[in-house]
Amino acid sequence: MEIPTYEDVERAHERIRPHVHETPVLTSQTFNRMTGAELFFKCENFQKAGVFKARGASNAVFSLTDEQAKRGVATHSSGNHGLSLSYAAGRRGIPCQVVMPRTAPEAKKEAVRGYGGSITECEPSTSSREEVFARVVAETGAEFVHPYNDPRVIAGQGTCSRELLSQTGGLDAVIAPIGGGGMVSGTCLTLSSIAPDVEIFAAEPKQADDAWRSFKAGHIIADDAPETVADGLKVPLKDLTWHFVKNHVTDILLAEEQEIIDAMYLIWQRMKIVVEPSSAVTLATILKNRDRFAGKRVGVILTGGNVDLKKLPWM
């Protein structure tokens, strides 16, 4: 298992700079009052491709040798990594194959195709996803870029908290959503290296709480096909992301489905920005655990804004 270092984050920062945005940090007096904390929202919903995953995908694609790049890249994804990898592959002018659950949001499928990616559909379970994907790679010979269990991807995601620290001038805690753990791992990698006193929290849907159960048990527990409105957080931890979670995460906090939807609605209403349910899990858990965050300066990573506007969860 190759574990990325902070030097890899710094190299990723330089490599992806022409291809991604340094996203803004927004604040909200309303949410500060509601939580008793000072919240700094890192708005990756304004990122290229609408999601933080453009960072890791761009780092992976632009790390490839010309020989590797010729064969293109491939991945499996419920949406955001697939569309981000399609975006990055398009920037390099190489093919991208994406295996997606047939139940993935249409808006995310359209985005994959819009960036030039090719979709092969699978059933909405981890086992089906991996089986179909193995077939696609055998047929195409493409370079596999795992959505999160890949050192190149984790180093790319680590650039987000690197920016956040410099933009805020220091924090007491950072909270990010957790599914497979790519963003949380990148956050751990950066903060443990340059700001080791900052607490790292992960936010997870109660209906897809395998990371929370893994954290409590001390080993990976994987669910095959959990159901949650936070469609970007359905996948399990893998060995590389588990390494960062078990060694650096302070705690994993859970939110119920209605709490996630309510938090998403509040962000839309009060901050006037579009975030997807997976992003709103962070605010939902802060509102639920005010005592953990009261009086602290907290970085809140809003991971993406790729929403099917015809199927908003409160409609």
Average confidence (pLDDT) over 75-93: 94
> pLDDT (tens digit, 9 = 90+) per residue, 223-237?
877 899 998 898 899
In which residue are the tokens 């047929």 written? 139
Helix, strand or coil, per DSSP, at residue 147: coil
Categorize the per-residue pLDDT at 7 as very low, low, confident or very high, splitting at 50, 70 and 90. Answer: very high
- 244 near 4, Cβ under 8 Å? no
Categorize the per-residue pLDDT at 160 as very low, low, confident or very high, splitting at 50, 70 and 90. Answer: very high
- 76 near 147, Cβ under 8 Å? yes
Output the pLDDT for position 65. 96
Categorize the per-residue pLDDT at 124 as very low, low, confident or very high, splitting at 50, 70 and 90. Answer: confident
Domains and CATH numbers, the chain: 6-52+150-302 (3.40.50.1100), 54-144 (3.40.50.1100)
Token pair belonging to 142 = 């493409």
Closest CA to 42 of 275, 284, 294: 275
**Surface-to-core class of residue 239, CB atoms within 10 Å of its CB (0-12 exposed, 13-18 middle, 19+ buried):** exposed
**Residue length, the chain?**
315
Output the pLDDT for position 175. 98
Token pair belonging to 212 = 């929370």
CA distance 295 to 291: 9
Mean pLDDT score across all residues of the chain: 95
- 94 near 141, Cβ under 8 Å? no
| Residue 202 CB partners (closer than 8 Å, separation 6+) | 175, 176, 177, 178, 181, 184, 211, 245, 249, 251, 252, 253
* Verdict on whether the full-model pTM lies above 0.85: yes
CA distance 267 to 201: 20
- 113 near 138, Cβ under 8 Å? no
Percent of the chain scoring above 70 in pLDDT:
100
> pLDDT (tens digit, 9 = 90+) per residue, 167-224?
999 999 999 999 999 999 999 999 999 999 999 999 999 999 999 999 999 999 988 7
Give me the half-sphere count of Cα atoms (radius 13 Å) on the Cβ side of residue 278: 28
DSSP letters for 152-175: HHHHHHHHHHHHHHHHHT--SEEE
Closest CA to 184 of 225, 224, 226, 153: 153
Closest CA to 78 of 306, 311, 253, 237: 306
**Surface-to-core class of residue 202, CB atoms within 10 Å of its CB (0-12 exposed, 13-18 middle, 19+ buried):** buried
**Alpha carbon of residue 203 to chain centroid:** 11
**CA distance between the termini of the chain:** 44
Categorize the per-residue pLDDT at 60 as very low, low, confident or very high, splitting at 50, 70 and 90. Answer: very high
Strands 96-101 and 251-255: unpaired
- 302 near 275, Cβ under 8 Å? yes
